[in-house]
Amino acid sequence: MDWVLFFIFLGTDLLIVLLCWYSYGKSGEYKEGMVHGVHIPWTCLSRPDVQGICQKAKKTWKLFQWINLVVSLLISLLCLYDFTVFIIVWSVWLLLYIAGDYYLILAPHRKMYRLKMENGWLHEKSKKIVRIDTVVSAASDKLALRWQWHLPALILACGGAYLLRLADTEHAVTSEEAFPFWIMYASSLGISVLFLILHVGILRHPNKVYSDQTEINLAANRLTKHSWSVSLLSASWLNVISFLYLAVCYFRHGPSMPGMNYAVYFVLIISAAVFFLLPLGRSVKKRREVLAADPSPLFIDDDEYWKNGWYSNPNDPHILVQDRFNSINFSFNFAHTGVKVFVGALCALTAAIILWTVSLVSGFENAQVVFTREDGVYSFEAAGYGCEFTRDDILSVTLTDKMPDDKFTRTNGGSGKDYQIGHFRGKETGKCMMFLTGDYTDILKIELKDMTVFASCPEGKTVESWYQELENES
């Protein structure tokens, strides 16, 4: 399991670093009349001060990415040693990496803007100009795939919920066991709905005029909108297909489905990510070729609204605009209060998820099994998982020195080197709950009417006292 996690995180880290490197590594090249997101005359490109900023930024960016490639590899190795330490270090690294990326993108941009202001390379008049290509605007509906193609996928996803319900009844799955599958269902449906909303947003996004040649404008806008619509649609469909596959497996096997099913699900999810990125990546190169056909492109010098590194133009009613540093990406217009609130909420949500994940994992690592008896009701509790039963529910109580020779699958809970906590299913044992910490030398096995409970803790004497208490009662 540790090696699986190692490879999953290593792959994720490589993907994050390489994507950032590739996506933002070329903002120092002169494109659409800009260097580092600042419009400057092409005749000034060879100036030593301009070259100085570009070369320094390129060198620092390359060094930063190489360092982070190595650091991410070393951090991934940590999960073989201690998962809690790893997840905390990894979260901190990710935040620092994102912050570092932003700094290295914004610092040369601001320097270049200062240089531009000092030298007066301004096109003040063009700032107030709005251009529309009538042919592109008239053909706007035909530039991308229709958003309605998402609807069958969403209907199928709803069918997946019906399958989950059937499976819950068929395998008598408890709500705790079913919870992770419903979470996966909600995530899958949420992603598809989000992609649908993004698709509609892309279709409504204003077309841009790059050149006085209509063919170039048409081709560039079509490439952007078409590639986004293909990406969103294919990723949405693959996302739904992968969930449906999981729902069918859940229906056939119940919560304790073979690991192979999860592996196929994982591959399908990865392919959704690949199909999302592939059309976007391909369109970047093609778009560059299309725009290169016009040696004197049209541009609007609205650098003033980008001077801080983000877009803030109160006169622009658009919420999303093309990003300065990555032409395939979009940026928010921070002049709108709604955008500030939305981005703030998004940051808070991300921080909350990171904190919750860290506390969840550390909760397992430091879990203590608590056994109580109150008004004839016994209860075990550890890391937020618990079970309650009365004396009448107990069929037998045994104290053993090892777990039964059975194949257990975790359905809702956590398992690591030193702990097994939560809901499990054994091939022979059936439904069970485990509250196991320590080295499992003394294990309390309680057979109840509807499931089996296994409990242990690092202190053998404590387990023995639990056994005595239950044995005396029954």
Judged by the rule CB under 8 A, the positions of this chain that interact with another protein are 125, 128-138, 140-141, 204, 206-207, 209, 212, 214, 298, 315-318
Question: What is the closest distance, in whole angstroms, from the C-beta atom of residue 127 to another protein in the complex?
Answer: 8
**150: nearest Cα among 110, 111, 196, 185:** 196
Nearer to another protein, 133 or 365 (CB): 133
How do strand 330-332 and strand 370-374 relate by DSSP bridges? Answer: unpaired
Q: Which two tokens stand for residue 288?
A: 């560059």
Buried b (16+ CB within 10 A) or exposed e, 221-255: bbbbbbbbbbbbbbbbbbbbbbbbbbbebbbeebb
Nearer to another protein, 130 or 260 (CB): 130
Question: How many angstroms separate the Cα of 317 from the Cα of each of 37, 181, 262, 341?
Answer: 21, 41, 45, 17
Nearer to another protein, 136 or 432 (CB): 136
Nearer to another protein, 114 or 128 (CB): 128
Interatomic CA distance for residues 14 and 18, integer angstroms: 6
Report the amino acid identity of residue 57: A
Residue entry with tokens 């194949």: 407
CB 57 within 8 A of CB 26: no
What residues contact 454, with CB distance under 8 A and at least 6 apart? 403, 420, 432, 433, 434, 435, 436, 443, 444, 445, 446
CB 40 within 8 A of CB 121: yes
State whether residue 472 is helix, strand or coil: helix
Nearer to another protein, 316 or 447 (CB): 316
Nearer to another protein, 137 or 415 (CB): 137
Nearer to another protein, 33 or 422 (CB): 33
What residues contact 437, with CB distance under 8 A and at least 6 apart? 367, 368, 369, 382, 418, 419, 421, 456, 457, 458
What residues contact 46, with CB distance under 8 A and at least 6 apart? none
CB 202 within 8 A of CB 314: no
Nearer to another protein, 214 or 415 (CB): 214
Question: What is the closest distance, in whole angstroms, from the C-beta atom of residue 333 to another protein in the complex?
Answer: 11
172: region left, alpha or beta (phi > 0 left; psi from -120 to 50 alpha): left
Nearer to another protein, 213 or 271 (CB): 213
State whether residue 374 is helix, strand or coil: strand
Question: What is the closest distance, in whole angstroms, from the C-beta atom of residue 221 to another protein in the complex?
Answer: 10
Nearer to another protein, 206 or 384 (CB): 206
State whether residue 115 is helix, strand or coil: helix
Q: How many residues does the chain have?
A: 474
